[in-house]
Structure 1
Amino acid sequence: MNEAAALPADVEAMTYEQARDELVSVVTRLEAGGASLEESLALWERGEALATRCESWLEGARARLEAARAARSDSPD
């Protein structure tokens, strides 16, 4: 199953920084407690989607760095 396809459209459109900042907010709200079970579950699901989005950005950045390193090592000095 492709996790990226399962992300809500608004999360899929986020930059890394937007997803990270909202994820921090979600975690803070969960840690504070006081939310109903239903609210907590919705927050948890949102946090999972945001974490997946952040990971996808980081994987893309990692791949770009590896490609740049490979290109540099393949080029003559």
Structure 2
Amino acid sequence: YKAYKDRMQRMYVVPRYDPVFVETDLKEYETQVLRMSVPNDDNDSYNDLQIDFSNKNHAFSLDNVSYITKDHGGST
């Protein structure tokens, strides 16, 4: 057992640590370009905009909100 233990300890060698220095002037940053289509801000496109404010077409109503509490899922 002792010979096996000694052999296993010799198998694991920690590699030498070489510190890495990064010059702040040479840092590179990854950037992402977002391509969006935005309509022109003219009166014609503004008049084409139609928003429905009726209650029947909205899926979520704040009147029907319930919250789960710690007392075994009861709603308050």
The structure carrying a bigger helix percent of its residues is 1
TM category (shorter chain) comes to under 0.3
TM-score of the superposed pair, with normalisation by structure 2: 0.26
TM-score of the superposed pair, with normalisation by structure 1: 0.26
Pick 1 or 2: higher relative contact order, CA cutoff 8 A, min separation 6: 1
- Over alpha carbons, which structure has the higher Rg? 2
